[in-house]
Chain A
Amino acid sequence: QKEVEQNSGPLSVPEGAIASLNCTYSDRGSQSFFWYRQYSGKSPELIMSIYSNGDKEDGRFTAQLNKASQYVSLLIRDSQPSDSATYLCAVKPSSYKLIFGSGTRLLVRP
């Protein structure tokens, strides 16, 4: 079992819809959770971080964390074609290193 699991996709949604990206993790001691966006050929860019159970909103993005169920999700409202990218979930367990998932590819259809 991978430490951080994501569905590889692609997840295809129409423009204007809500895109829902999910991630599960194995280390119950994990305290910090991050979502990165990576465009093809580019480096990952941090878009959201969350540390407490519940929702955290930033513009069109909402991160959701449920530590009891060991999952974290990212919602993108009013999806735009420019949101098409690979989204990486990253989890910080007790060590200093972030553990990255393999990413979910999102495709927003015009």
Chain B
Amino acid sequence: EADIYQTPRYLVIGTGKKITLECSQTMGHDKMYWYQQDPGMELHLIHYSYGVNSTEKGDLSSESTVSRIRTEHFPLTLESARPSHTSQYLCASRNMEASDGYTFGSGTRLTVV
């Protein structure tokens, strides 16, 4: 049973619109991550956070931004959506001290038309 939640599950939106993808976790995890993944392709890290008020850009350049005002919440925002942003966006979290792997949310499949 997932303890990390992403909404919406699917989103179709027009070019130029501002969108926010929500990610929340109830596990008290310090570290949270956003990945972008095209169908059949590898995961690309676009943003991560080690705690409240901490955000960093990932390995893949992205036009999105993130915020971490509360431990449990890590939203991703696109100010002006473009067709090139069409992809699946996956949120993940893990504990600071544990050696466990990431727990992933169910993802948001974004289509920009």
Interface of A is mostly: loop
Q: B residues within 8 A CB of A100?
A: 42-43
Does A16 lie at the interface of the complex (its beta carbon under 8 Å from any beta carbon of B)? Answer: no
Residue pairs across A and B with CB atoms within 8 Å: the count is 48
B101 x A97 contact (CB < 8 A): no
Residue of A nearest to B58 (CB): A97
A96-B31, A96-B50 given; A46·B101 CB < 8 A: yes
Chain A residues, Cβ within 8 Å of B107: 42-43
Q: In the bound complex, do residue B101 and residue A90 qualify as a contact, i.e. CB atoms below 8 Å apart? A: yes
Does A36 sit within 8 A of B, measured CB to CB?
yes
Contact A46 B99 (CB under 8 A): no
Residue of A nearest to B106 (CB): A43
Interface pair A31/B99, CB less than 8 Å apart: yes
Q: Give the residues in chain A near B50, CB-CB below 8 Å.
A: 96
Q: Which residues of B contact A31 (CB under 8 A)?
A: 99
Shortest Cβ gap from A61 to chain B (Å): 14
Given contacts A43-B90, A96-B50, contact A34 B45 (CB under 8 A): no
Interface contact A102-B100, CB-CB below 8 Å: no
Query: When each residue 57-94 of chain A gets 1 if its CB lies under 8 Å from chain B and 0 otherwise, what string results?
Result: 00000000000000000000000000000001010100
The answer to whether A26 has its CB under 8 Å from any CB of chain B is no
The count of residues in chain A whose C-beta lies closer than 8 Å to any C-beta of chain B is 23
Q: Which residue of B lies closest to A105 (CB)?
A: B40
Smallest Cβ-Cβ distance to B107: which chain A residue: A43
Tell me if B99 and A44 are in contact (CB < 8 A): no
Q: Is the CB of A97 within 8 A of B104?
A: no
B14 → A minimal CB distance (Å)? 23
Q: Mark A31-51, 1 if CB is under 8 A from B, else 0.
A: 110101000111111100101
A61 to B94, CA, bound (A): 23
Contact B43 A88, beta carbon cutoff 8 Å: yes
Which residues of B line the A interface, CB within 8 A? 31, 33, 39-43, 45, 48, 50, 88, 90, 94, 99-107, 109
